[in-house]
A and B are shown apart, each in its own frame.
Chain A
């Protein structure tokens, strides 16, 4: 509780007055008491004196009368006695009565105020107690008696005559007059005392009043300087150090004031200095805030924005003044975000000292802003990243949140550029992949077809453009230049075909641009009043772009095949057949049987790598992936193995269905896979051929078949009863997928359709004498194994791996020889032959371009066994690579340094990601070959060496 303020002055006055009043009351009391005591004493003394004089008077009277009466009594002079007594009584008002009685106690005279003559009628003697006392006296005596209600002193004395008592004289003297005078004296005393008290009181009041006045003045004088000190102190406590303190008095207070003044000036000096310091610091802070290249401002926990902020924040966040904006305005919060933001503030208040700020900050509703200038919608928006930091106050409590806004636009732009670059590279890579995965014949057809169509489209568009312009010149006001729907349809077909083909070969850029051109073409269909030259010009631009893409493909063809597409090996089947026939004829004519091997080889020339045979499966997987926005990889095992191209023709549609199913229903959407941490989806196609039996395994790492759900559906559709279902084992339940008319997916998509079910698939495989078994685990995937009989007449064996092919073909003369058997159209490339740098090496190095595709973009360099030492020498390799690269305008042994390719490129898996120069390669699946890996900034090169070369059969033939 606050104490009530009482000034020193009033305290001084009050206490002084109190003391004086007490003293005064004490004095007054003492005087009064003494006065009363004195008066009592005096009255007692007076009473004693009066009583003594009364007694003396009575004694004298009685004594005198007794003496006077002795004669009269002897003479029986009644009258004389009567006269004496009555006159005595009459003369003195104090004498109440006078009695003379004889010795027989008979009264002669009894005078009183009622009987002044004193005559006595009765002759009876007095018998009362006093009379008896008087009659017993022998000398004068007196006693007090009460008569009526008054006090009377009776004096009695015997009257003698010759020693004989004749009678007794008695007088009663009243004390009344004495009492009256005493009363009067007492009253006088009281009156005098009262008067004295009154005077004293008066004097007291006067002196108190005077004292008060004096004290008040004195107190005022003492406390005034204190008051001014207090005022100064108030001013100082309010922060005003400029009020000077005057020293007004010459006492302790004066001293105090002087000290106080000294203190004030000292404090003022310090505070002024402190203010300077604070100003300086604030200036520094402001300097920082104004020059920092980041947007900074702080937010209170109630969501209000503080007034300090860096001036850059205004620019970054595109507001006039952060401090006068609400958070909603600064961060462009909508109602929902505002709500979320408040929730966030609430959460951090509750949790900030319990949880890591990193995780709490992550929950903030806003981390990035995209600020569009409403006036310029074309301008790229500013990307602003928003970060949050906690700020503690001096007590260690979370007081504020610092918000850091950074302009990320430039970074974003760079990212976009990089993305574009990457896309460009990817597209280049896809072109390369498309090229190496496409049999050269097909590729040539595609290129020819595309060129033809492009020429046709361009011609048509240019013709129309010229037509439009001509029409404009001739008839400036005439209506739109007409292009018939049929013509547009024809253009559309061409572009659509280019789009479709390029897409399926993996030339995505070309496909995408063709798609844009298609869209642009649609505009030609729109009815217009004016001519169409703008649309046609736009079409030309699109066509230019398409040509650019085609040129790119050409350049890549050149890059990979060393020359234009014409350099690719294209061996028509008829030629192979022709060779076989010729060989058979030679064999028959010379009857040596030596040509049989050649015939076998020739047959194998028409074989196709498994990657090519399964390309349609890969395509369907790609289509499903694009359609459903999934990321799916199609893997063929084993790689680089050759088979007759029709090895799956009898079961093609069923395999397609299985693979489509795996991609469509098996592989989960990317968000689900990400949640499960499963990565890119895989559909694997495995093929084995042994002892005239084929085994195909189609597996995926998708969601698998939920047998519980499957059983429920079968029960729901009435295929089986619940009892039957309960008796089924896991394997049997899985086999329910082969039930006719079953679709486990609720959604029917364009891609998987509803036509062919698993029942039809099984039927198909069983038709060719095969069996189907299924194995599936929920969330791990499904595996379908097909056991099929061999195809054809069983003469197809053995298989040659690519490397066996390479190995077997590893002399240039051998290749030359093979080629010579063909049409002579094909040039065998010996690029290094004329290069001096490779002198001494070139005889042992073979550059096999025709094998490109089997290595998914690797151009193989083979080196003879006896020169393997040379190969190990790094400088030699570099020299070789350089020379090859320069000479052929291509890269040797190249693999794009791209993780996806590294993954897919089997042999690279054996390597640590960081390159080591002395890293030796060995390929378990490719016996007899070793290699070495090296890389520069952009490429990884792989060199191969053949350790066990076997001679090419044809060389025997030559001999």
Chain B
């Protein structure tokens, strides 16, 4: 069965791009997508997907906070940070239990980027 993924990003445009990658390249099933941290928590609760991708900078509730809430409720949740934020925030997320991170901009035209994305997913599902 295809793995299920939920994509949360405050940009519809990027959700489309990320979803396209997961569906076409990875053969994942994109079960839902959301635009802020509140969506992330609610959607995770509803679907309990195999993977949740989270942007950090989002309105209402940022990704870091949403991640903490989800991990408190579901300690085994697989969360992949996809963000343009650099530095300590990503480190904090990894320390808090994010399974991996991808840096924006998303260069889906770049084979190195695709390779890294795939490796990251492989690592997450090997854990």
- B105 x A354 contact (CB < 8 A): no
- A676 x B11 contact (CB < 8 A): yes
Query: Could you tell me which residues of chain B, from 49 to 68, have a CB within 8 Å of some CB in chain A?
Result: none
Find the A residue at minimum CB distance from B106: A677
- A340 x B91 contact (CB < 8 A): yes
A-B contact count (CB 8 A): 57
* 11 A-B contact pairs sorted by A residue (CB < 8 Å): A340-B88, A347-B94, A351-B94, A355-B100, A359-B116, A359-B120, A363-B101, A674-B104, A676-B14, A677-B108, A779-B12
CA of A344 to CA of B14, assembled, Å = 29
Residue-wise, chain B 90-127 has the 8 Å CB interface mask toward A (1 for contact) of 11101100001100111110000000100110010011
Which residues of B have CB within 8 Å of A188?
Answer: none
Point out which of B13, B17, B116, B126 has the most chain A C-beta atoms below 10 A from its C-beta: B13
Which residues of A have CB within 8 Å of B88?
Answer: 336, 340, 343, 365
- A343 x B91 contact (CB < 8 A): yes
- B17 x A779 contact (CB < 8 A): no
Which residues of A have CB within 8 Å of B91?
Answer: 340, 343-344, 347, 363, 365
CA of A356 to CA of B107, assembled, Å = 20
Query: Could you tell me which residues of chain A, from 920 to 957, have a CB within 8 Å of some CB in chain B?
Result: none
Residues of B within 8 A of A (CB): 11-14, 17, 84, 87-88, 90-92, 94-95, 100-101, 104-108, 116, 119-120, 123, 126-127
- A354 x B127 contact (CB < 8 A): yes
Point out which of B11, B88, B108 has the most chain A C-beta atoms below 10 A from its C-beta: B88
Determine whether A778 belongs to the interface, using a CB cutoff of 8 Å to chain B: yes
Give the dominant DSSP class at A's interface: helix
Find the A residue at minimum CB distance from B119: A356
Determine whether A675 belongs to the interface, using a CB cutoff of 8 Å to chain B: yes
Point out which of B17, B91, B106, B120 has the most chain A C-beta atoms below 10 A from its C-beta: B91
CA of A363 to CA of B102, assembled, Å = 11
Q: How far is the CB of B64 from chain A (nearest CB, A)?
A: 13
Determine whether A837 belongs to the interface, using a CB cutoff of 8 Å to chain B: no
Determine whether A904 belongs to the interface, using a CB cutoff of 8 Å to chain B: no
Which residues of A have CB within 8 Å of B127?
Answer: 354
Point out which of A343, A351, A674, A677 has the most chain B C-beta atoms below 10 A from its C-beta: A677
Which residues of B have CB within 8 Å of A676?
Answer: 11, 13-14, 105
Residues of A within 8 A of B (CB): 336, 340, 343-344, 346-347, 351, 354-356, 359, 363, 365, 671, 674-677, 778-780
Find the B residue at minimum CB distance from A358: B116
CA of A351 to CA of B120, assembled, Å = 12
CA of A675 to CA of B90, assembled, Å = 15
Q: Which of B84, B100, B101, B126 contacts A671 (CB 8 A)?
A: B84
The 7 A-B pairs with the shortest beta carbon distances in the complex, nearest first, are A779-B13, A675-B84, A677-B105, A675-B104, A363-B91, A340-B88, A343-B95
CA of A779 to CA of B9, assembled, Å = 13
- A363 x B105 contact (CB < 8 A): no
- Using known A-B contacts A355-B100, A671-B84, determine if residue A779 contacts B94 with beta carbons closer than 8 Å: no
For the complex with contacts A671-B84, A677-B108, 6 further pairs of A-B residues with Cβ separation under 8 Å are A343-B92, A347-B94, A355-B123, A675-B14, A677-B104, A677-B107
CA of A157 to CA of B61, assembled, Å = 143
- Using known A-B contacts A675-B84, A676-B14, determine if residue A346 contacts B123 with beta carbons closer than 8 Å: no
CA of A91 to CA of B108, assembled, Å = 150
Find the B residue at minimum CB distance from A356: B119
Q: How far is the CB of A556 from chain B (nearest CB, A)?
A: 36
Which residues of A have CB within 8 Å of B116?
Answer: 359
Q: How far is the CB of B115 from chain A (nearest CB, A)?
A: 11
Q: How far is the CB of B36 from chain A (nearest CB, A)?
A: 14
Which residues of A have CB within 8 Å of B17?
Answer: 677
Q: How far is the CB of A292 from chain B (nearest CB, A)?
A: 30
CA of A336 to CA of B12, assembled, Å = 35
CA of A363 to CA of B91, assembled, Å = 6
- A346 x B95 contact (CB < 8 A): yes
Q: How far is the CB of A702 from chain B (nearest CB, A)?
A: 12
Find the B residue at minimum CB distance from A337: B88
Find the A residue at minimum CB distance from B85: A675
Which residues of A have CB within 8 Å of B13?
Answer: 676, 778-780
CA of A73 to CA of B123, assembled, Å = 144
Which residues of B have CB within 8 Å of A355?
Answer: 100, 123
Which residues of B have CB within 8 Å of A354?
Answer: 123, 126-127
Find the B residue at minimum CB distance from A674: B105
CA of A778 to CA of B13, assembled, Å = 8
CA of A351 to CA of B97, assembled, Å = 10
Which residues of B have CB within 8 Å of A340?
Answer: 88, 91
CA of A359 to CA of B115, assembled, Å = 13
CA of A933 to CA of B84, assembled, Å = 40
Which residues of B have CB within 8 Å of A671?
Answer: 84
Q: How far is the CB of A94 from chain B (nearest CB, A)?
A: 114
Find the A residue at minimum CB distance from B102: A359
Q: How far is the CB of B22 from chain A (nearest CB, A)?
A: 16
Which residues of B have CB within 8 Å of A336?
Answer: 88
- A347 x B119 contact (CB < 8 A): no
CA of A116 to CA of B68, assembled, Å = 131
- Using known A-B contacts A355-B100, A671-B84, A675-B104, determine if residue A347 contacts B11 with beta carbons closer than 8 Å: no
CA of A780 to CA of B88, assembled, Å = 31
- B100 x A779 contact (CB < 8 A): no
Which residues of A have CB within 8 Å of B101?
Answer: 359, 363
Which residues of A have CB within 8 Å of B12?
Answer: 778-779
CA of A346 to CA of B91, assembled, Å = 10
Point out which of A351, A359, A780 has the most chain B C-beta atoms below 10 A from its C-beta: A359
Which residues of A have CB within 8 Å of B11?
Answer: 675-676, 779
Which residues of A have CB within 8 Å of B105?
Answer: 674-677
Which residues of A have CB within 8 Å of B119?
Answer: 356
Q: How far is the CB of B102 from chain A (nearest CB, A)?
A: 9
Point out which of B94, B104, B123 has the most chain A C-beta atoms below 10 A from its C-beta: B94
CA of A351 to CA of B87, assembled, Å = 18
CA of A351 to CA of B126, assembled, Å = 12
CA of A354 to CA of B120, assembled, Å = 10
Which residues of A have CB within 8 Å of B92?
Answer: 343
Which residues of A have CB within 8 Å of B94?
Answer: 347, 351, 363
Find the A residue at minimum CB distance from B57: A675
Which residues of A have CB within 8 Å of B107?
Answer: 677
Q: How far is the CB of B63 from chain A (nearest CB, A)?
A: 13
Q: How far is the CB of A780 from chain B (nearest CB, A)?
A: 7
CA of A624 to CA of B83, assembled, Å = 28
- Using known A-B contacts A343-B95, A344-B91, determine if residue A359 contacts B84 with beta carbons closer than 8 Å: no
Which residues of A have CB within 8 Å of B100?
Answer: 355, 359
Which residues of A have CB within 8 Å of B84?
Answer: 671, 674-675
Find the A residue at minimum CB distance from B127: A354
Find the B residue at minimum CB distance from A679: B105
Which residues of A have CB within 8 Å of B120?
Answer: 359
Find the B residue at minimum CB distance from A343: B95
Which residues of B have CB within 8 Å of A778?
Answer: 12-13
CA of A336 to CA of B91, assembled, Å = 13
Which residues of B have CB within 8 Å of A346?
Answer: 95
Which residues of A have CB within 8 Å of B14?
Answer: 675-677
Which residues of A have CB within 8 Å of B106?
Answer: 677
Which residues of A have CB within 8 Å of B104?
Answer: 674-675, 677
Q: How far is the CB of A364 from chain B (nearest CB, A)?
A: 8
Find the A residue at minimum CB distance from B123: A355
CA of A677 to CA of B108, assembled, Å = 9
CA of A676 to CA of B100, assembled, Å = 20
CA of A778 to CA of B87, assembled, Å = 30
Which residues of B have CB within 8 Å of A347?
Answer: 91, 94-95
CA of A676 to CA of B57, assembled, Å = 13
CA of A365 to CA of B95, assembled, Å = 13
